[in-house]
Amino acid sequence: MTRILVTGATGNIGRMTLQHLLKRVPASDLVGLARDPAKAADLAAKGIEIRQGDYLDREGLVRAFAGIGKVMLVSATAFTDRNTQHENVINAAKQAGVGHIVFMPIIQKADSGFHMPQVTEEDRFVEKSLKASGLVYTLVRHPPFLENIENYAGGAPLEKGVLAPAGTGKAAYASREDLAEAHAVVLSEDGHGYKDYALYGGPAVSFADIAQILSDISGKPVPFNVLSEQDYVAQLMSLGLPEPAAAFILKWVQGVNAGEWDGESGDLEKLLGRKPTTPAQYLRAVHAPRRLETET
């Protein structure tokens, strides 16, 4: 069996991908890459080998990739030198004899001019580098995460209503768990080389739709209150976010309102063999226990 290495093993997506891979392949075929292997002790306890590696240390990556057939390249954090980090991974993989890289860019519509700072251009750079590398590659494109939906809705929607700039655009959010499971399918099966998957969840929802879902779950009206972009950033900052982080979230909201991620869940559903988690299912799982606590 080809050994599979997942980078970012101590982060959300990397850890979840390895956990789903454990259901599909022997632990002895799995390797996690972490800057601090001690933080992946739980994965090591399950039999996954943890190797130390840093995207900025190319020679260290070459050593870490020894004997590896497939690499899941988990995206570097925004507002770091993503191009250098990703290029180091690709070049080190090629030097170490890795055959296949799976990468998780953001979904970008072919005809769209939407620009997400530190995300869209850097993802295009990786795609270009992969195609020029001679390596087999698979692109598993992500929409926004379901786990971020309440942050986009102003941070405290049950208390203050859904707060967002005006717009009727929708997004087909997907959960990290569903995306990680799809990664595991691609990494553990043959036949995914040179494929380009758009992992939309579904159904696509607007901020008004989110307000209605939360109203249904909570049993009380949750309004959709339109804010100016300036007031929206101020609302996020009132929750403790620094201004650059609030402005970054605003860009995601602008993309949602522009319909940048309003596709259908065909690729994700096929890879999972089931319907992906819906916004209503996710929000109900988060808030139904809280409602029960307040009623007892």
pLDDT in tens, 214-272: 999 999 999 999 999 999 999 999 999 999 999 999 999 999 999 999 998 899 999 99
pLDDT in tens, 22-73: 999 999 999 999 999 999 999 999 999 999 999 999 999 999 999 999 999 9
Q: Would the pLDDT of 296 be above 60?
A: no
Q: What is the C-alpha to C-alpha distance for residues 108 and 139, in angstroms, rounded to an integer?
A: 12
Model's pTM, two decimal places?
0.95
Task: Tell me the percentage of the chain whose pLDDT exceeds 70.
Answer: 97
Domains of the chain: 4-141 (3.40.50.720), 144-172+200-262+278-296 (3.90.25.10)
Q: Would the pLDDT of 294 be above 70?
A: no
Cα 33 from chain centre: 18
- Residue 49's DSSP bridge partners are 31
> Given this model, what pLDDT does residue 287 score?
85
Q: What is the C-alpha to C-alpha distance for residues 61 and 98, in angstroms, rounded to an integer?
A: 11
Q: What is the C-alpha to C-alpha distance for residues 14 and 72, in angstroms, rounded to an integer?
A: 8
DSSP 179: H
Q: Would the pLDDT of 1 be above 90?
A: no
- Cβ–Cβ under 8 Å, residues 9 and 19: no
Angle at 35 between CA 130 and CA 104, to 5 degrees: 30
Q: Half-sphere exposure of residue 224, counting CA atoms within 13 Å on the CB side?
A: 15
pLDDT in tens, 89-99: 999 999 999 99
